[in-house]
Amino acid sequence: LGYVRSMARLSVAVDESFGRAGEFTRSLFGEERWTAAQIEGFVNEQRNVTIASTNTSGQPHAAVVIGGCVDDEIVFTVHPQSVLARNLTANPRIGFSVCDRRHVVMGQGRAERVGNAAQCADLISTLASASVGGTFTPPDWDGDLYRIDIRRIFAS
């Protein structure tokens, strides 16, 4: 029962995104769209998440970061002095994707800072346990963790 409850937000985001999707998007993801549990497993297996942001001039920027999914949340790493960190401070709206040769998870939302690695040791440990490789961040990593407040998400 706890697991079902923990996947509720991601499930709702998947269902609402598909419900608002246009005909073309439905044709791409309709028959093969994934459940929240499938999305969580895939994100944790792939580990690399591409985050697309814009700077204050509106110029696009894409960064491949470490990502994971636990407790109904997609979480990703950001170095505090990176272009991505500056962009998120100015404008937290993002696009994101996780893919391999056959599957894709993609969406948009808002990046919300969770905290510095030192403040998020329990979350990092939980993400490491969920990761296929058994680790999340490199040892002694001192960056920030962000979560995605998902507005749209599609996966197959």
Q: pLDDT of 105-146, one tens digit each? A: 999 999 999 999 999 999 999 999 999 999 999 988 999 999
8-state DSSP, 56: T
Task: Work out the percent of the chain whose per-residue pLDDT is above 70.
Answer: 95
Question: What's the pLDDT at 4?
Answer: 38
> Rounded CA gap, 115 and 75, in Å?
11
CA distances from 130 to 63, 101, 125, 133, 145 (A): 22, 22, 9, 9, 16
- Identify which of 110, 111, 112, 140 has the alpha carbon closest to the alpha carbon of residue 124: 140
Q: pLDDT of 37-54, one tens digit each? A: 999 999 999 999 999 999
CB 153 within 8 A of CB 39: yes
> Rounded CA gap, 21 and 6, in Å?
24
